[in-house]
Amino acid sequence: MHQPVRLFLVDDHPLVRDGLRARLASVPWITVVGEAGSAAEALAQLDAAAPDLLLMDVGMKDMNGLELAARVLQRAQPPHIVMLSMYDNPEYVQQALQLGARGYVLKDAPAAEIVAAIEAAAAGGTFLSPAVSRKLFRRAEPRPLLTPRESEILAALGRGEPSKQIARTLGLSVRTVEAHRQSIKRRLGIDSLAELIRYAVEHTGPK
């Protein structure tokens, strides 16, 4: 049973927004609660719409999606953000993840991929289009030695799995997963969960 997700669309092309609405209409747990054709429109509507998640274009005319994401994520209780883009440029992806975006999906991705990104982000995980992942993982560097269990957990974080799901998969308690996560952060010299997730996305997965 999926938790309901209140979704807000931001794209400066009406046809793209229409297409997204049509593709998501068949997903019963997603409700599109608003849409905007510019960053300014989005910022003006967010409080009233109260979305759980923003699906937003990277390339917009008045303020690009990365700048808008930075503005939105500075709010007291920000919605999750999934970036939608025509570009699989690793620099854009890195910047989006550094800002705190939970997903990066290509505009030509199938509807199932967009839904998977929304699902992962809403659950507190991360999702990247496979084409984007391949470009990032090609640049992966050797990482400090982790225990086999820590490596499993880091890989699960890289796949966008939240702690509860990791615990279920590995037969551990959530508290044990959290303890391993803290240990990984210490070994890697990482302070925040966002940094750890970004590191996991960059350094794990199919090579």
Question: What are the structural domains of the chain?
Answer: 5-137 (3.40.50.2300), 141-203 (1.10.10.10)
The reported pLDDT for the residue numbered 206 is 46
The rounded distance, in Å, linking the Cα atoms of 34 and 39 is 13
Q: What SS3 string covers 51-81?
A: CCEEEEECCCCCCCHHHHHHHHCCCCCCCEE
The rounded distance, in Å, linking the Cα atoms of 124 and 204 is 18
pLDDT digits (tens, 9 = 90+) for 98-122: 888 888 998 888 888 899 999 988 8
The reported pLDDT for the residue numbered 195 is 81
Q: What is the mean pLDDT of the chain?
A: 85
The kind and range of the H/E element at 111 are helix 111-122
pLDDT digits (tens, 9 = 90+) for 53-89: 999 988 877 778 888 899 898 888 899 999 998 877 7
pLDDT digits (tens, 9 = 90+) for 150-184: 888 988 888 888 889 999 999 999 999 999 888 88
Share of residues in the chain with pLDDT > 70 (%): 92
pLDDT digits (tens, 9 = 90+) for 23-60: 899 999 999 999 999 989 999 999 899 999 999 988 87
The rounded distance, in Å, linking the Cα atoms of 146 and 57 is 37
The reported pLDDT for the residue numbered 207 is 41
C-alpha separations of 56 from 61, 63, 97, 129, 157 in Å: 13, 12, 14, 15, 23
Strand locations in 42-177, DSSP E? 53-57, 80-85, 103-106, 127-128
State the amino acid at position 71 in one-letter form.
R
